Amino acid sequence: MNIVVIGLSHHSAPVELRERFAFAEAKIPEALKSLRESGIAGEAVILSTCNRVEIYAATALEPVRAFAELKNFLARWGETPSSPNQNATKSGLEGLSPHQTDIRAQYSSPSPRRGEGRGEEAVGSSSDPRTSAFARLRRDQPALSPLGRGEGVEPVGSSRCDDRTAQRAVPTNIGDELYTLAEPQSLHHLFKVACGMDSMVLGETEILGQLKQAYALAHRHGHTGARLNKAFQRAFHVAKHIRTETNIQRGSVSVASVAVELAEKIFSSLNDREVLVIGAGETSEKTARALLSRGARSIIVANRSHDRAVALAKELGGRAVQFDDWAGEFEKIDIAISSTSAPHHILDRARLEPLMKTRQQRPLLLIDIAVPRDIDPEVNFLENVYLYNIDDLQAIADDSLKQRREEVARCEQIIAEKVKTLLETRSPMSLPFDLRPVPSLNKS
C-alpha cells in the first residue's frame, strides 16, 4: 500500500469553502471507519483544522483511482446529515478530474502575505497553483462580510475550528482548490505540515500538536497500520530535528508573540505579573492571552463598553474596571496593552510621570497597538518606561519572519533526505511504480 493525500487548505481555498468540508472531531472515527469499510483505504488519518482539511490514506488502489474515490467519499460525507458539512455540494467534487494532482515539491519557496489582523503573517506564493486558484475563486465571488475571530489562523489551545457551519453560499464547482498528492510528494507534504512549513504562519508549532492529535485519534480507533504509523512517527521525528537543527521556528512573527518576547526580556519572568488591557480589541485580547499562557498572574480589562470588558475579563479569568478608572490600576500593574479608538493620546508624559512615582519606579511595559496611537511617544523618556507601538512590534515580527524564510531551503533539503530514507526502507514491491528498480534484461 502507498500513501496518498487529498485536501484543501488556506493556500487553495477561503474559509467559506474549507468549513464546508471540515470534520467535527466527534465524527472523525465514524468517517474513518466508513472510509476503510468502503475499500478505498486500508489505513487513514483525517486532519481537520481551521486552515486545512486533509485525508492521509494508505491504499492498494492506483493513485488515479484512489483520488477519484476519495473525492467521491468527501462529497458523500459532506452530504451526510450527521456530518457538520451538510451544505457541501456533491456535484462540485464530482466535477473534478482525477488527474488534477498537486505536485507541491516543485513549488518555489513561499513569500509572505498578510494573514488575519496586523502582525499575523501568512505564507503563500503567487506562483503556487493553490494560491492562484484561491485568487480566481475570490474574484468570482461576491464580497463577503468580515469574518469572526480565529478564521485564517491556527487557534492557540484548540485543535479544530468551531464545528458550526456558517450559512454562506459556496462554489458549486471547485477544481484546483482541492489538491491530490501521491508518493513521494504525499510524504514530503506530511513532513512539511508537521514542521509548520505549510502553515499560514511559517514555522509555527501549533500544527504539530494538531497533527499528533489527528494521528492519535485514528490510531486509538484502530484505523492506522504499519504504513501510516511509520510515516507519522517519522514526520514527528523530522519536525523535532528541524526545530533543533534550524532556525525555522526561532523568533516571534506576530504582534502577540513579539509582545511576550519583549515582556520576558524586561521582566525575566512573567510569573505574577499583572496586565491591564485598555480597549478590548481583537489583537489586544490575543496579546493578553499570550501573556497569560506564559505565566502572567491576572488580567484587568477596561473598555468604553463595560459589558464587553466584563465579558472579556470573564473569558480571561480576570476582572473588569470602568473605563474612566483604568489609571488607578497603574500602581499595581506591570504591563499595559492599549487599543482604543480614541482620536487622541489617552496617556501622555504629564499623566504618567506622577503614576510612576506611586509605582516606586518599577519597570512598566506599554504596548500601544492603536491607530491613531493611544500613548504619547514622549513617555519613552521616563525612567523604567518601555513603550512599543504597532510599527515597532511589526518590524520585529518582520525581521523574525525574514530569518525564518532564509531557513526554508535548508529545511526542504532535510525533508527530501528523510523522505528518501523512508522510501528506501521499504521492499521494492511496496514502492510507488515510478520508484521501483527496473529489472535487468541481461542474463548471465
pLDDT class for 189, splitting at 50, 70, 90? very high
More confident residue, 48 or 104: 48
| pLDDT tens digit sequence for 380-433 | 999 999 999 999 998 888 888 888 888 889 999 999 999 999 998 875 544 443
User: Omega into 184 within 30° of 0, i.e. cis?
Assistant: yes
Q: Which residues pair with 238 in a beta bridge?
A: none
pLDDT digits (tens, 9 = 90+) for 72-100: 898 777 665 444 444 433 333 433 333 33
What are the φ/ψ torsions at residue 181 (nearest 5 degrees)?
-135, 130
Question: Residue 204 has what pLDDT?
Answer: 85
What would the pLDDT profile of 135-186 be if each residue is shown by its tens digit? 433 333 333 222 222 323 333 333 344 433 333 333 445 566 789 999 999 9
User: Which residues are designated catalytic?
Assistant: 50
Helix (H) / strand (E) element for 318: namely none
- CA–chain centroid gap for 429, Å, is 37
Pick from 33, 32, 66: nearest CA to 46: 32
In the prediction, which pLDDT does 78 show? 61
Domains parsed from the chain with CATH numbers: 2-248+411-429 (3.30.460.30), 255-398 (3.40.50.720)
- As given in the structure block, the three cell numbers for residue 395 are 518590524
Contact 353, 362 (CB under 8 A): no
> Residue type for 176, please?
D
Answering whether pTM is above 0.85, one says no
Largest Cα span, the chain: 96
435-438 own/partner pairs: CB under 8 Å, 24+ apart: 435/183, 435/184
Q: Which among 326, 314, 252, 321 has a CA at the least distance from the CA of 285?
A: 314
Cell of 65: 483511482
Beta carbons within 8 Å of 425's beta carbon, 6+ residues apart: none
H or E stretch covering 57: strand 52-59
Of all residues in the chain, what percent carry a pLDDT higher than 70?
74
Is residue 365 scored above 90 in pLDDT?
yes
Kindly report, residue by residue over 396-407, the tens digit of the pLDDT.
Answer: 888 888 888 888
